Amino acid sequence: MMGGADPLRVAAVQAESVAGDVERNVAVAVDWIVRAVSEGAALVVLPELFLSGYDPATLRDDAGGCDVTPKDSRLEPLSAAARAGGAGVLVGASVREPEGARSLALLSIARDGHIVTAYRKQHLWNQEREIFAPGGDGASLLLDGWNLGLAICYDGCFPEHARAAADAGAGVYVCPSAYVVGSEHRRDLYYAARALDTGTYVVVAGLVGACGQLEFSGGTAVYDPQGRTLDRVEAGEGLVVVDLDRAVIAEARRINPYEQDRPASLGGRNTLAVE
């Protein structure tokens, strides 16, 4: 993990998104960015597919309206908000790639307003596989000397994904998500576990409310490197703002030195028959 300023103040947003209405969703995102910046956030994280809305039917039927590119003029208010607030922003979007493929992606808006596709979801869930191409590579964001591993929702269900981020130097695992109502027990278990088994902070920004034909359950929270909830949005729309402390990561990794104690290989497997 790179050296740098401490602490890092991160804001995670829990908000509703309207299927297919990029302009409206951008305007809502800007409002949350302004609020987060007013509370001193250096990084603002918004949910999975927030700009397009998470509705498979709309994503299939209105691809032209849902998809964005980093140079999309509809995103200019996000650039302006990042520049005015001096904060970085991560927001989920359906991104049209130059070759025509579509990615379920995270856009990064830098403090100078520059927008790039920072990460493409590698583990696609259910109907996502019919709409998007999976990302081929992991990714990290460097901000104020902090290494932030990037993930989207289902990625965080795979321990090896978070472990790869930690092995690459991440002290924070950022995972915008969209969990439907009824999956809360899995959602909360996954991200607390990823924090504990990698010794990283985990930041979840969850979609909430109705979007198209689906109903989402939120789950916005920040977990400390021992898997404890630091703060969360319990219901409805809201915001959590948390200071991340490098010393807390070091202490968690001292107590639970998983990286140090992992053997290079678990060898073969012996199978015994007990009659």
Tens-place pLDDT, residues 36-52: 999 999 999 999 999 99
Amino acid making up residue 48: E
Domain that holds residue 57: 8-261
Q: 270 in a domain, yes or no?
A: no
Q: Does a structural domain hold residue 192?
A: yes
* Any domain includes 3: no
Confirm whether 267 is domain-assigned.
no
Is residue 275 pLDDT above 60, yes or no?
yes
pLDDT of residue 5: 56
State how many domains the chain has.
1
d(Cα 231, Cα 104) in Å, to the nearest integer? 27
Examine residue 185 and state whether it is found in any structural domain, yes or no.
Answer: yes
**Is 33:87 a contact under the CB 8 Å cutoff?**
yes
- The reply to whether 92 falls in a domain is yes
The pTM score is 0.96
The sign of the CA dihedral 151, 83, 13, 131 is: negative
User: Is residue 274 in some structural domain?
Assistant: no
Q: What's residue 2's pLDDT?
A: 42
Give the whole-angstrom CA distance, residue 18 versus residue 76: 19
What's the CATH code of the domain at 64? 3.60.110.10
